Structure 1
Amino acid sequence: MPEKESLTDKVVRLMNQQNRIRNIGVIAHVDHGKTTTCDTLLAGCGMLSEEKAGKQLYLDSEKVEQERQMTVKSSNVNMVYEREENDEYLINLIDTPGHVDFGGHVTRAIRAIDGAIVVMDSVEGVMPQTEMVLKQALRDKVKPILYINKIDRLITEMRFSPEDMQKHLVKLITQINSFINDLAPEDVKAKWQVSVQDNTVAFGASRDNWALSFKRMKATGLSFKDVYETYTSNDKEKIKELSKKTPVHKVLLDMVIEHLPDPVEAQKYRIPIVWHGEIESEIGKSLISCNPEGPLMISVTNIEIDPQAGEIAVGRIFSGKISRGQDVYLINNKQINKVQQIYIWKGPQRFQVESALAGNQIGMAGLKNIISGETLCGADLHDVTPFEPIKHSLQPVVVKAIEPKNPKDLPKLIQALREQEIYDIALKVSINHETGENLIAGLGTLHLEIVEDKLRRTYGIDIVSSQPIVVYKESIAAKGPIVEGKSPNKHNRFYLYAEPLSPEVVEALADESMPTGKIKAFTQENIELLIKAGMTREEAKSISAIYGENMIVDSTRGIIHIGEVIEMCIESFNEVMKEGPQAREEVRGVKIVLTDMMLHEDAIHRGPAQVIPAVRDAIKDAMLQANPIILEPIQILRVDLPMANLSNISALIQSKRGIIDNVKDDGDKAVITAEMPVASTFNFTNELRSGTEGRGSWSLAGETFKKLPRDIQPVIIKQIRDRKGLEPMQ
Structure 2
Amino acid sequence: MTRREDIRNVAIIAHVDHGKTTLVDAMLRQSGQFRASQLVGECILDSNDQERERGITILAKNIAIAYGDTKINIIDTPGHADFGGEVERTLQMADGALVLVDSFEGPMPQTKFVLRKAFENKIRPIVVINKIDRPDARPDEVLNEIFDTFVELDADEDALEFSYIFASGRSGFASHDPKATSGDIRPLLDLIVEKVPGPEVDMDAPFSMLCTTLDFSEYVGRIAIGRISTGRVKKGQKAALIKAENALTSGSIDNLLVFDKLGRTEVKEAGAGDLVAIVGFGGVEIGDTIACAETPIALPRIEVGEPTLSMLFTINDSPLTGEGEYLTSRHLKERFDRELRSNVALRVEPTEQRDSFMVSGRGLLHLSVLIESMRREGYELAVGKPEVIMRNINGIEHEPYEYLVVDVPHGQMGPVMELVGARRGELSKMDVKGAYAHLEFMIPARGLLGLRTRLLSATQGEAIMHHNFHGYQPFRGDIPRRANGVMVSMVRGQAVAFALDSLQERGTMFVQPGDEVYQGMIIAENARGDDMVVNPCKEKKLTNMRASGSDKNVLLKPPRMITLEIALEYIESDELVEITPSKIRLRKKELTEEGRKRAERGSKKVGV
> What's the TM-score once normalised by structure 2's chain length?
0.72
Deviations 1:292-338 (A, max 9, x none): 23201111111123344332211110111122233322223422233
Partners of 1:17 and 1:111 in 2: CA distance: 17
How far has the Cα of 1:39 moved from its partner?
A: 0.8
Deviations 1:102-132 (A, max 9, x none): 1221111111000111111000011111122
**1:145 aligns to what?**
126
Amino acid aligned to 2:290: L
Local SS of the residue matching 2:311: strand
Counterpart of 1:207 (choices 160, 170, 184) is 170
**2:370 aligns to what?**
451
Distance 1:348 1:308, change over 3 A: farther
Local SS of the residue matching 1:371: coil
**2:233 aligns to what?**
322
The 5-angstrom pairing of residues 633-712 of structure 1 reads 633-708=400-475
Distance 1:418 1:327, change over 3 A: farther
Partners of 1:686 and 1:309 in 2: CA distance: 45
Q: Does 2:308 align with 1:396?
A: yes
**2:332 aligns to what?**
413
The 5-angstrom pairing of residues 52-451 of structure 1 reads 56-82=42-68, 88-153=69-134, 156=135, 158=136, 168-181=138-151, 183=153, 186=156, 189-190=157-158, 192-194=160-162, 200-213=163-176, 227=181, 242=182, 246-248=183-185, 250-264=186-200, 290-333=201-244, 334=247, 335-346=249-260, 349-382=263-296, 384=297, 386-393=298-305, 395-403=307-315, 409-432=328-351, 435-451=354-370
Amino acid aligned to 2:235: R
Partners of 2:171 and 2:127 in 1: CA distance: 18
Contact 1:399 1:441 in 2 (8 A): yes
Local SS of the residue matching 2:203: coil
Distance 1:445 1:226, change over 3 A: closer
Unaligned runs of 5+ in 1: 1-15, 83-87, 159-164, 195-199, 214-222, 228-241, 265-289, 476-588, 591-625
Identity among equivalent pairs (%): 27
Local SS of the residue matching 2:334: helix
Deviations 1:541-596 (A, max 9, x none): xxxxxxxxxxxxxxxxxxxxxxxxxxxxxxxxxxxxxxxxxxxxxxxx24xxxxxx
Local SS of the residue matching 1:151: coil
Partners of 1:152 and 1:138 in 2: CA distance: 30
Partners of 1:455 and 1:307 in 2: CA distance: 19
Contact 1:321 1:358 in 2 (8 A): yes
Distance 1:172 1:208, change over 3 A: same
How far has the Cα of 1:343 moved from its partner?
A: 2.0
Distance 1:180 1:633, change over 3 A: closer
**2:533 aligns to what?**
none
Contact 2:424 2:476 in 1 (8 A): no
Aligned residue pairs, count: 480
Contact 1:396 1:443 in 2 (8 A): yes
Contact 1:638 1:701 in 2 (8 A): no
How far has the Cα of 1:712 moved from its partner?
A: 8.6
How far has the Cα of 1:190 moved from its partner?
A: 4.0
Distance 1:641 1:448, change over 3 A: same
Distance 1:365 1:729, change over 3 A: farther
Partners of 1:51 and 1:693 in 2: CA distance: 43
How far has the Cα of 1:426 moved from its partner?
A: 1.7
RMSD of aligned alpha carbons: 3.3
* Greater Cα offset, 391-400 or 460-469: 391-400
Distance 1:321 1:729, change over 3 A: farther
How far has the Cα of 1:432 moved from its partner?
A: 4.2
Counterpart of 2:14 (choices 11, 25, 28) is 28
Contact 2:405 2:465 in 1 (8 A): yes
How far has the Cα of 1:33 moved from its partner?
A: 0.7
The 5-angstrom pairing of residues 471-510 of structure 1 reads 471-475=388-392
Distance 1:423 1:468, change over 3 A: farther
Partners of 1:407 and 1:63 in 2: CA distance: 21
Partners of 1:349 and 1:113 in 2: CA distance: 18
Partners of 2:420 and 2:47 in 1: CA distance: 37
**2:538 aligns to what?**
none
Partners of 1:447 and 1:254 in 2: CA distance: 36
How far has the Cα of 1:21 moved from its partner?
A: 0.5
Contact 2:309 2:362 in 1 (8 A): yes
Amino acid aligned to 2:418: A
Counterpart of 2:383 (choices 466, 470, 485) is 466
Deviations 1:647-704 (A, max 9, x none): 1111111233333333334453212222333233222222222222222111114333
Local SS of the residue matching 1:137: helix
Contact 2:174 2:184 in 1 (8 A): yes
Contact 2:241 2:281 in 1 (8 A): no
How far has the Cα of 1:360 moved from its partner?
A: 0.3
Amino acid aligned to 1:316: R
Instruction: Flag the structure with higher helix content.
Output: 1
> What's the TM-score once normalised by structure 1's chain length?
0.60
How far has the Cα of 1:400 moved from its partner?
A: 3.9
Local SS of the residue matching 1:391: coil
Unaligned runs of 5+ in 2: 317-323, 481-572, 575-598
Distance 1:175 1:305, change over 3 A: same
The 5-angstrom pairing of residues 510-589 of structure 1 reads 589=393
Amino acid aligned to 2:166: F
Distance 1:351 1:433, change over 3 A: farther
Amino acid aligned to 2:142: L
Distance 1:729 1:690, change over 3 A: closer
Local SS of the residue matching 2:368: helix
Deviations 1:44-87 (A, max 9, x none): 223446799795211111122122222111001122112xxxxx
Partners of 1:226 and 1:91 in 2: CA distance: 25
Distance 1:69 1:293, change over 3 A: same
Amino acid aligned to 1:440: V
Partners of 2:235 and 2:315 in 1: CA distance: 40
Local SS of the residue matching 2:259: strand
**1:595 aligns to what?**
none
Local SS of the residue matching 1:423: coil
Partners of 1:92 and 1:653 in 2: CA distance: 42
* Greater Cα offset, 466-475 or 120-129: 466-475
Distance 1:370 1:46, change over 3 A: same
